[in-house]
Structure 1
Amino acid sequence: MMTEQDFPNPQVTTTVTTSNTTVQTNIRFDPLYIRTIPGILKVVQIVLNLLGFICITISPYRYHSRNSWFNTVAMTGFWFTGIMLALYLFHIIEKFYRIPWLKIEFCFCALWTFFYLIAASLAADQGRYDEASGAAAFFGFVAMVAYGYDAFLKFTGVRSGSLAQGERVVSKSTSTVTSPAY
């Protein structure tokens, strides 16, 4: 004869994870974005790109290949970051929330961190002959840090499943069902 102790107590645990995405698809101007950390980073990156570009442009060695590379990095960063800032300010990023904006920005910021490491190092070497290149190297290294920190923020956002703009609320509910013992 079997007793209750011979039968295992079946217990089923079910975890349900639901995700709710809340976005507003209307285009609107929101100047408060500039007060957020990503907004401040974008403004700082734009200013550093422009200052580095100006320093190289006034250099007597501006046509040297090293300085041309620096200007290419600075101007591409200036335009990409400026366009992204405009897209965030007008909530166009939120309107097209299905595009993986965080992944795109992460790739760009990580690549520009590397590009600025090279460009600023070359400008620093050129700075032995020219103060303007030395100043550009300073702005380039600071821009490298800004893009690196931005890449880190984008990476953590991608890993957590965040949206670039808008909200995604993830809720988990766990239920445990225990069968009665016979």
Structure 2
Amino acid sequence: MRDNEDREGFDGEASNTSMISGASSPYQPTTEPVIQRHGLGGMRWDTDYLKSNFGILKIVQVVLALVAFICIETIMECSPCGGLYFFEFVSCSAFVITGVLLLVFSLNLHTKVPQINWSLTDLVNTGVSTTFFFLASIMLAALNHRTGAEVTAVVFGFLVTTVYAFNTFLAVKKWWQSDQRPTTVQTSEYTRARTESRGEVEPRSEIQRLEA
């Protein structure tokens, strides 16, 4: 009987000891969820930006500029070629610059370089692209030879001009709102300070009247 009691006591002590050692062990299994990171080198796709108006407009701009560039590249003969070469330069430049900005914003790379005003950079790019695409489309429409590739390039040129113009409008609106916001905050703080100072001055004047 005693042997059984000793064994039971020993088993109980062993189980208690294992529970204590398990509780104090630094190698306990954790129940915290494992967060999976998407991207390389800390970069991740910003799906919110890609779903926003600016993200969608940038994707459309890149696609339309690429299609216009491909159409103009299929033309083998031209005379005169000034309008064709200008349209080719504009479509290629817009595709590359807008594509780079799309990657910068969608990967949140602009947060790593805060020294650059990215909102103003986007505004300048959309405004310049709108102007040059509009001029290039007019020149190509006036100097084309009625071929299918040229007509298609002109159509896509005016389409991408419209998209860039709408993006410019939204960028100007966003820049204007961000520029007016600090002024509004400063005005509200100034008004509150004036109100507080008046609240401190009025009791003092009443005290002076009572003393007089």
Q: TM-score, normalised by structure 1?
A: 0.73
Distance in 2, Cα, partners of 1:79 & 1:31: 21
Q: What does residue 91 of structure 2 align with?
A: 74
Q: CA deviation at 1:148?
A: 1.2
**2:56 partner amino acid:** I
Aligned 1:146-165 pairs, distance under 5 A: 146-161=163-178
> Could you tell me which of 23, 31, 41 is aligned with 2:57?
41
> Could you tell me which of 116, 138, 141 is aligned with 2:133?
116
Of residues 172-181 and 100-109 in structure 1, the stretch that sits farther from structure 2 once superposed is 172-181
Q: CA deviation at 1:89?
A: 1.3
Q: Would you say 1:59 and 2:75 are equivalent positions?
A: yes
1:113-151: CA deviations, max 9, x gaps? 110111111122234532211111111111111111111
SS in 2 for 1:98: coil
SS in 2 for 1:99: coil
**Structure with greater contact order relative to length (CA < 8 Å, sep ≥ 6):** 1
8 Å Cα contact 1:62/1:68 also seen in 2: no
Aligned alpha-carbon RMSD (Å): 2.3
| Bigger CA radius of gyration | 2
Q: What does residue 161 of structure 2 align with?
A: 144
Q: Would you say 1:95 and 2:109 are equivalent positions?
A: no
> Could you tell me which of 7, 25, 28 is aligned with 2:44?
28
8 Å Cα contact 1:52/1:135 also seen in 2: yes
Aligned 1:6-21 pairs, distance under 5 A: none
8 Å Cα contact 1:55/1:132 also seen in 2: yes
**1:129 partner amino acid:** R
8 Å Cα contact 1:61/1:67 also seen in 2: no
How many pairs are equivalent?
A: 151
**2:72 partner amino acid:** I
Q: What does residue 9 of structure 1 align with?
A: none
Structure 1: segments with no counterpart, 5+ residues: 1-25, 163-167
Q: CA deviation at 1:96?
A: 1.9
Flag as ranges the 4+ runs of structure 1 deviating above 3 A: 60-63, 170-174
Q: Greater strand percent: which structure?
A: 1
Structure 2: segments with no counterpart, 5+ residues: 1-41
Q: Greater helix percent: which structure?
A: 2
**2:157 partner amino acid:** G
Of residues 152-161 and 48-57 in structure 1, the stretch that sits farther from structure 2 once superposed is 152-161
Q: CA deviation at 1:33?
A: 2.0
